[in-house]
């Protein structure tokens, strides 16, 4: 396993006035059930997957039987980095209430919603934002449900807590790698490091899963829930939601610092990428390029063009340039 900056290659270029203005470097890997199919950069670069691995963090919830009765909408929410809209807040609140819990039982912390309508409502009413608005509150509701099943203490985000031990075990088994360590995520949960190829391999295992064992059934349900309810995974205007709506059965998930993954069941492939500088515009453009390469996303779809291929315009609507895939990538 190597440092994230080592071996990075150009993935995305930004052109202005016919001149290359900026360039985003990184790593990308496509895996099938046997291993790496294609790679750009260093497949062994070690990264924090951040929120791109939420379907891995949700595996113990289903494998343990704790979440067996959950509907697909809540399963999608367990994998979400939602924008704190009224819909998301209500859904997490109802899930907690059904468990006899409340907002104060969460350990994700509070931040302002990124949903404009909800943020404006809070400003106009004087109401305070709370942990329900946290983009990870759905994942944490899932942690709480698993914790109730395991009988752990209230601080379920501690790395030695039974919930996180279960998450780490599933994470390492599905990536096929022993994690070299962890960092604390924005929501206070540990985020276990892995290689880009390990993350892609995990996505390929989701893509090729069948229903012949508990893990396979859990993977099938989680990938299906994400694809069926993209509005719960992110929200309006967001890349995950818009791009999943543009495809058929493909589950994708972004993570902070420009990580992106895709589960492509119809091709039996998994995808993972990391842009070294953390630029979201680049990770979104790169995942569009890879999904188009795999033939599951029409590059002319408005959701794709919004991130790659359409002219970039300024505040007055004047075209100033474009975002392109770098030469040699895709």
Instruction: Give the whole-angstrom CA distance, residue 52 versus residue 234.
Output: 12
Instruction: Give the whole-angstrom CA distance, residue 4 versus residue 159.
Output: 23
In the chain, what is the straight-line distance between the N-terminal and C-terminal CA atoms, in Å? 24
Domain boundaries defined on the chain: 9-325
Sign, Cα dihedral of 141, 143, 146, 147: negative
Q: How far is CA 73 from the centre of its chain?
A: 16
Return the structure tokens found at 108.
Answer: 């994700």
Instruction: Give the whole-angstrom CA distance, residue 51 versus residue 283.
Output: 14
77, containing H or E segment: helix 72-78
Per-residue pLDDT 10s for the chain (330 aa) are: 799 989 999 999 999 999 999 999 999 999 999 999 999 999 999 999 999 999 999 999 999 999 999 999 999 999 999 999 999 999 999 999 999 999 999 999 999 999 999 999 999 999 999 999 999 999 999 999 999 999 999 999 999 999 999 999 999 999 999 999 999 999 999 999 999 999 999 999 999 999 889 999 999 999 999 999 999 999 999 999 999 999 999 999 999 999 999 999 999 999 999 999 999 999 999 999 999 999 999 999 999 999 999 999 999 999 999 999 999 999
Question: CB 185: neighbour CB atoms within 10 A?
Answer: 21
Q: What predicted TM-score, i.e. pTM, was given to this entire model?
A: 0.97
Instruction: Give the whole-angstrom CA distance, residue 175 versus residue 205.
Output: 9
**Count of helices and strands (H, E) across the chain:** 13, 12
For the domain spanning 9-325, the CATH number is: 3.40.710
Q: Which residues pair with 263 in a beta bridge?
A: 251, 270
Q: How far is CA 156 from CA 26, 106, 187, 188, 207, in A?
A: 33, 9, 12, 10, 29
Provide the residue count of the chain.
Answer: 330
DSSP summary character for residue 105: G
Closest Cα to residue 139, out of 101, 102, 107?
107
């Amino acid at each position: 396993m190597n440092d994230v900056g080592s071996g990075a290659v150009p993935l995305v270029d930004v052109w202005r006035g016919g001149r290359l203005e900026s360039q985003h470097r990184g790593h990308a890997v496509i895996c099938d059930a046997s291993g790496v199919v294609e790679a750009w950069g260093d497949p062994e670069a070690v990264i924090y997957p951040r929120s791109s691995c939420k379907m891995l963090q949700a595996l113990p919830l289903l494998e343990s039987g704790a979440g067996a009765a959950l509907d697909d909408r809540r399963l999608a929410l367990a994998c979400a980095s939602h924008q704190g809209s009224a819909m998301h807040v209500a859904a997490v609140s109802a899930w907690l209430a059904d468990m006899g819990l409340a907002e104060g039982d969460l350990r994700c912390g509070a931040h302002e919603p990124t949903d404009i309508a909800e943020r404006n409502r809070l400003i106009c009413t004087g109401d305070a934002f709370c942990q329900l608005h946290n983009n990870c509150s759905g994942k944490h509701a899932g942690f709480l449900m698993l914790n109730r099943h395991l009988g752990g203490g209230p601080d379920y985000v501690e790395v030695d807590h039974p919930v996180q031990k279960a998450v780490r075990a599933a994470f390492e088994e599905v990536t096929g790698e022993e994690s070299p360590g962890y960092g604390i995520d924005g929501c206070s949960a540990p985020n276990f490091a892995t290689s880009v190829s390990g993350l892609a391999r995990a996505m390929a295992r989701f893509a090729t899963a069948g229903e012949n064992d508990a893990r396979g059934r859990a993977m099938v349900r989680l990938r299906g829930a994400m694809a069926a309810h993209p509005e719960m995974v992110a929200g309006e205007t967001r890349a995950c939601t818009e791009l999943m709506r543009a495809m058929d059965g493909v589950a994708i998930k972004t993570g902070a610092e420009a990580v992106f993954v895709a589960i492509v069941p119809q091709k039996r492939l998994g995808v993972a990428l990391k842009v070294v500088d953390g630029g979201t515009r680049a990770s979104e453009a790169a995942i569009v390029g890879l999904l188009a390469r795999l033939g599951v996303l029409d590059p002319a779809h408005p959701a794709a063009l919004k991130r790659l291929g359409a002219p970039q315009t300024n505040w007055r609507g004047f075209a100033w340039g474009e975002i392109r895939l770098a030469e040699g990538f895709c």
